Copies of this chain bind each other. A is one copy, B any other.
Amino acid sequence: MINEQLIDPQSIVVVGASNNLQKPGGKILHNILECYRGDIYVVNTNQGFVQGVKSYPTVHDLPKEVDLAVIAVAAKYCPSLVKSLIQEKNTTAFIIISAGFSEENAQGAQYEKEVVEAVEAINGCLIGPNCIGIINVNHHSIFTQPIPMLDPAGADFISGSGATAVFILETGVGLGLKFNSIFSVGNSAQIGVEDVLAYLDETFDPDKSSRIKLLYIESITNPDKLLHHANSLVHKGCKIAAIKSGTSEAGMRASQSHTGAMASPDTAVDALFKKAGIVRCHGRLELATVAAVFMAKELKGDNMAVITHAGGPAVMLTDSLSQGGIKIPPIEGPRAELLRSKLHHGSSVGNPIDFLATGTAEQLGEIIDACEKDFDHIDAMAVIFGSPGLFPVREVYEVLHQKMRTCQKPIYPILPSVVNADDDIKYFLSKGNVNFPDEVMLGHALSKVHNSIQPAKESIQMKGVDVPAIRALISGFEEGYLPPQQIQKLFSAAGIPMLKEIFIKDTDELAKHIPDVPYPCVMKVVGPIHKSDVGGVSLNINSSLLLEKEFHRLMAIEDAKGVIIQPMLQGTELFIGAKYEQDFGHVMLCGLGGIFVEVLKDVSSGLAPLSEEEALGMIDNLKGKQILRGVRGQEGINIVEFADIIVRLSTMLRFAVEIKELDINPLIGNENGIMGVDARVRIEKEVK
């Protein structure tokens, strides 16, 4: 795992270094030489000196021990190289940039395995193979460019793909994004994105560590680890944005249950990110823009002043912010009038504050000062200032730069003239600022960050869920769909209220139970999975005559093993579902039942175990939530009780990974309470 030798090595050897800067082994040595201050060695069979550094023909010939080895030779040489370095040079950190390992074929996978075993044996650290390397303040062991400006307040960026990391850097650099460190994990043979994040969490120092983390992830191999450390970092005051690509790869899986059809593997990623407090992005420009938002002071409140010298971008920004729920409130009164008097005739201060094409640097200073000190209801400023190409705008950008440092309120600069004011924008960025060249991208990213959910607390709400009883029940169950009586017992142990039902399998039992039947009642066939499709549900039975008739009809259905009788309830149909997603655990869904789940797919998701807060948040996200509060003369439901049931179920599932799919559909809710009416639970026991 990550060690001091990787992060701050006293000595580095580059194995396979070259004089050719068009080769990775040449470029990486070049990049290391540019700023590294420790001892550097080179191993190269052919050369006396490589880029001015004395070269040794083999690692055996190296004169001293070496902390970190950066390896750029063919895969087949790597296992023996790594072993020699470990045994002879006490090397404990390795970055292997070469390809030809597990990503290529079985032979490569074997090389990779040997390397990992050797490194693990000494509790060492391996980055890669098949990666571009790492950058931090101590060394630039990376073979690509650009090498961004490093800044302790910049982002720690971890990428599952080297090329994508490069492209994200290029996008970020254009916006003025700063970085503190970059880790490209390649094949993640030993260390994946989650492991680097864990390291950043475990070594987090509130005085020194960066508070911005960016992730590019292609596959999440350890969701629990990612969740735990992301959550922990966010609770420590960090901001995390991540791309998880491959949302469309698996598509929707065919499944017997509603939940199965609605919860794609990507729903689990969404639910995990939400729970962890990670802002999910879907493209490089979006990630870089969100990261640039992170670099500003935090937006506390949702009232923005839009300051501009041109109408159009201010209107588009206002549109975009309003859509994201950020307000551009009126600015008026004597102080607004005072400000107006300092601006050119024709300026407006109502918000947007438009100080016209002829607006000056001094006036911008006055406006920002007024927003900072005089307009208490303003929480942040966006400043739009471009150039038609007539005269330089450096003076304006200088004022903006100064005010961004002295003001308490965040200021978001929108400098759109990437052609006309190219030099001035570069100057502005060189002072450590970011720029949002497109106001609508800013509006979108800022809304996204502002509306992102607080991470959940990492505790399980037991609520009296009887875990030993649940474990005992599940041990006794067979695989497949549980029969109704078993579901009743299971749910009872978790405190999930289910409608009382009478199970009847023949006419004798029917005769025996006739006195207990509550009218009006519902009778449902037991056996077939899709009861409705085979006409297996009979509603509103209000006499023993009808009861007997319907019993015989239902028992004649193919696969009928009996019927259940339930009282017929009035209320709103609800739905709860859960699906086990390999490694992630259970994705929970909730919604209104009936057409809301079947036609409108109006469901919210979360990752078990859920807190009451999370469950209430899920319910609040439903488009049909107003119906739960009561509408059109129809009474509402007890929302807190609905949340409570979701939480209990999620707690039960956390201790019952054998449950792969679960639907309660419908539950019937009214103001008095909520009762599950019908449920389906599928169990698989093989260890996965």
Contacts and interface: CB of A to CB of B under 8 A. Distances in A.
Contacts of A390: 21-24, 27, 143-144
Contact of A145 (B166, B345, B388): B388
Interface stretch (A313-321, A333-341, A362-370): A313-321
A319 B386 contact: no
Contacts of A357: 99, 163
A182 to B, nearest CB: 13
Contact of A284 (B145, B245, B316): B316
A338 B624 CA distance: 54
A218 B420 contact: no
A376 interface: no
Contacts of A595: 624, 627, 631-632
A391 B173 CA distance: 20
A286 to B, nearest CB: 7
A446 to B, nearest CB: 13
A417 interface: yes
Contacts of A388: 132, 143-145, 162-163, 166
B284 A416 contact: yes
A261 interface: no
A174 B419 contact: yes
Overall SS of chain A's interface: loop
Q: Which of A105, A285, A627 has the most CB of B within 10 A?
A: A285
Contacts of A171: 416, 418, 437-438
Interface in A235-267: 243, 245-249
Contacts of A132: 388
Nearest to A159: B312
A104 B310 CA distance: 15
B218 A285 contact: no
A256 to B, nearest CB: 18
Contacts of A170: 386, 416-420
A164 B310 contact: yes
Interface in A143-166: 143-146, 160-164, 166
B319 A420 contact: no
Contacts of A532: 632-633
B389 A144 contact: yes
A521 interface: no
A439 interface: yes
Nearest to A288: B438
A56 interface: no
A322 interface: yes
Q: Which of A282, A283, A285, A311 has the most CB of B within 10 A?
A: A283
Nearest to A358: B99
Given A283-B439, A312-B164, A419 B145 contact: yes
Interface string A270-295: 00000000000011111000000000
A419 B146 contact: yes
Given A144-B388, A388-B145, A416-B170, A246 B315 contact: yes
Contacts of A599: 623-624, 626-627, 631
Contacts of A104: 345-346
Nearest to A414: B167
A241 to B, nearest CB: 14
Given A245-B312, A532-B633, 13 more contacts: A144-B388, A145-B419, A163-B310, A170-B418, A171-B418, A216-B312, A247-B323, A282-B316, A282-B440, A595-B631, A595-B632, A598-B631, A600-B602
The 8 closest A-B pairs by CB, nearest first: A283-B440, A164-B312, A163-B310, A145-B389, A248-B322, A144-B388, A161-B312, A167-B416
